[in-house]
Amino acid sequence: MKKYIAEPFRIKMVETIKMTTREEREKYIAEANYNTFSLRSSDVYIDLTTDSGTNAMSSAQWEGIMRGDEAYAGGRSYFNLIAAAQDIFGHKYIQPVHQGRAAEKVLFELLLKEGMYSISNMHFDTTRAHVELAGGRALDCVVKEALDIADRSPFKGNMDVEKLEKLINEYGKEKIGVVIMTITNNTAGGQPVSVENIKQTSEVCKKYGIPFCLDAARFAENAYFIKKREKGYENKSIKEIVTEVFSYAQMFTMSAKKDAIVNMGGLLGIKDDEDLFIQCKARTISFEGFTTYGGMSGRDIEALAVGLYEGLDEDYLEYRIGQIEYLAARLDEAGIAYQAPAGGHGIFVDAAAMFPHIPYYEFPGQALTVELYKEAGIRVCDIGSYMLGNDPDTKEQLKADFEFTRFAIPRRVYTQAHIDVMADALIAIKARAKDVKGYRITWEPPILRHFQAKLEPLK
């Protein structure tokens, strides 16, 4: 059994959480139309919906909150953040925004027009949505190893570079508005991407004159995997690895609510294209607010400037990844399939393997999501056909490459005992898996349906 890595911090504040009864949970999930996003957080015992903005900030970050400069223009906290981001990422132009999807909103409509395409190692839900809202279409191009969840290749998040070049030639380079590298690759199970693969992808983009963008929400976790798994990087610091990775991209979008360990914030970086940055600043003013606060309060900006550095700490990252590996080891012992090896920010359980009798159009990932809430008050989310949604042109249900249920672990929040509750709940559900039924959607919005859709269990 893998040893649990002790927390490299002490707890100074606690928040009370309450376990409800099974009868209460069955009532609450029915009232929520079997969509866990519609549950009240007070009715959730362990919340693993996302690792985005759900993290515990440090005493240094709370100190920063007290220092935050709330000036509308030119606040001191803004300049602290810009200096930190330029130091870590090496991009000349940095624009704060309130979260990652805001960075996508500001940038993508400058790169994509009707009839154009975005190619990614895998688009996550909001990224795909913003591509489509800009009039484009999303093409996924992950390596074949990612499609075999039992394959323990070290960099299953990589771009299939050969396929990337084929897609560019098939659709025409003038039709490819952007190539996006998501690090770590969330949709593929939090799997990391190697420096070599990022470099190769960058070279293809340069060859065809296509903008290369990092979706860099989990930049520090990806760098930790590089240090541990990629030859030649074992003696480099996490910061050195991050700076090199970002040097290969012309731009980046970032939800800082992940590896910068804050509750709100995002960044848009442009390496050296001043004209593009000027356009981004103008759109920021329209959508986010003035450029020096970008939709955030000064206190959030100050906490972000501190958190960018805290997320690079190697002791913290060893503990962070160790939590995920501990949960994975418990699932290995129980024979529960997940995207292996363990990813950076969570475990992606193979719901299709647990419920082979539930077809993709009855959403096995969502079925497991509901069962986990009923079993132990755990809120997780589907990363499968339910989240993927319908074809934007034909409106037919799409079949996802994976039917995952994601356990996204917030940073510095849960203990070993909580993780044991997660494993025990999965083991209990596996024992009665054959009795679990699928779901059908009774109402859905046209974009990002999984946040709001209403479902009912099949009889």
Candidate list 72, 150, 166, 272, residue with the active-site label: 72
217 is catalytic: yes
Candidate list 43, 140, 160, 215, residue with the active-site label: 215
Element (H, E) at 223: helix 219-229
Coil, helix or strand for 404? strand
124 is catalytic: yes
Residue the block writes with tokens 């080891």: 329
Candidate list 134, 138, 146, 217, residue with the active-site label: 217
450 is catalytic: yes
- Residue 259 and residue 190: Cα distance in Å, rounded? 13
* DSSP bridge partners of 117: 137, 176
Contact yes or no for 249/271 (Cβ under 8 A): yes
Candidate list 4, 146, 450, 453, residue with the active-site label: 450
417 is catalytic: no
Contact yes or no for 249/71 (Cβ under 8 A): no
- Residue 302 and residue 37: Cα distance in Å, rounded? 30
Coil, helix or strand for 401? coil
Candidate list 124, 155, 248, 363, residue with the active-site label: 124
Candidate list 47, 125, 350, 382, residue with the active-site label: 125
Contact yes or no for 88/239 (Cβ under 8 A): yes
313 is catalytic: no
Candidate list 98, 105, 130, 258, residue with the active-site label: 258
Cis ω for the linkage preceding 49 (within 30 of 0) = no
**What 8-state DSSP symbol labels residue 271?**
S
Radius of gyration of the chain (CA): 21
Contact yes or no for 250/213 (Cβ under 8 A): yes
173 is catalytic: no
18 is catalytic: no
Please identify every residue annotated as catalytic.
72, 124-125, 215, 217, 258, 450
